[in-house]
Structure 1
Amino acid sequence: METVNDNAAMLSNFEVYSLLSDIQAGRGQKKPSKHQQHLATITYETVKYLENTPCVNHTEEIVNQFMKDLEPFKLMRAEKLQIINQCPTSAVEIQLIVEESEERLSEDQIYELLEVIGKYTNKGEEEGEGQEEAEEEHRDQDG
Structure 2
Amino acid sequence: MKIEKANAGFLTNFEVLDFLRSRGAKTDPMGCLGAVAASECKVYEYLLKTPSCNQTRESINEFVTRCDTFKLTNADKLNVINWRPSSAADAYAMIEECGKRFSKDDRGEACNEDERVEEFLELVKEAFPSPPPKPEEMTE
Q: What's the TM-score, normalizing by structure 1?
A: 0.68
Query: Given the superposition, is the C-alpha separation of residues 4 and 56 from structure 1 closer, same or farther in structure 2, using an over 3 Å criterion?
Result: closer
Does 1:10 pair with 2:10? yes
Of residues 46, 66, 69, the one that matches 1:72 is 69
Supply the distance in 1 between the matched residues of 2:9 and 2:40 (Cα, whole angstroms). 17
Unaligned runs of 5+ in 2: 26-32, 103-112, 132-140
Unaligned runs of 5+ in 1: 26-30, 124-143
Where does residue 91 of structure 1 map in the other structure? 88
SS, match of residue 44 in structure 1 = helix
The aligned runs of 1:1-143 (5 Å cut-off) are 5=7, 8-24=8-24, 32=34, 40-105=37-102, 106-119=113-126, 120-122=128-130
1:52-83 Cα deviation digits (max 9, x unpaired): 11112111111111111211111001111111
Supply the distance in 1 between the matched residues of 2:48 and 2:122 (Cα, whole angstroms). 24
* % identical aligned pairs: 33
Structure of greater Rg = 1
Please report how far the alpha carbon of residue 86 of structure 1 lies from its aligned counterpart in structure 2 after TM superposition: 0.6
Supply the distance in 2 between the matched residues of 1:111 and 1:61 (Cα, whole angstroms). 23
SS, match of residue 11 in structure 1 = coil
SS, match of residue 122 in structure 1 = coil
Q: What's the TM-score, normalizing by structure 2?
A: 0.70
Please report how far the alpha carbon of residue 121 of structure 1 lies from its aligned counterpart in structure 2 after TM superposition: 2.6
Runs of 4+ in 1 over 4 A off after TM superposition: none
Supply the distance in 1 between the matched residues of 2:64 and 2:38 (Cα, whole angstroms). 31
RMSD: 2.2
Supply the AA of the counterpart residue of 2:43. T
Supply the distance in 2 between the matched residues of 1:43 and 1:118 (Cα, whole angstroms). 30
Supply the distance in 1 between the matched residues of 2:82 and 2:120 (Cα, whole angstroms). 15
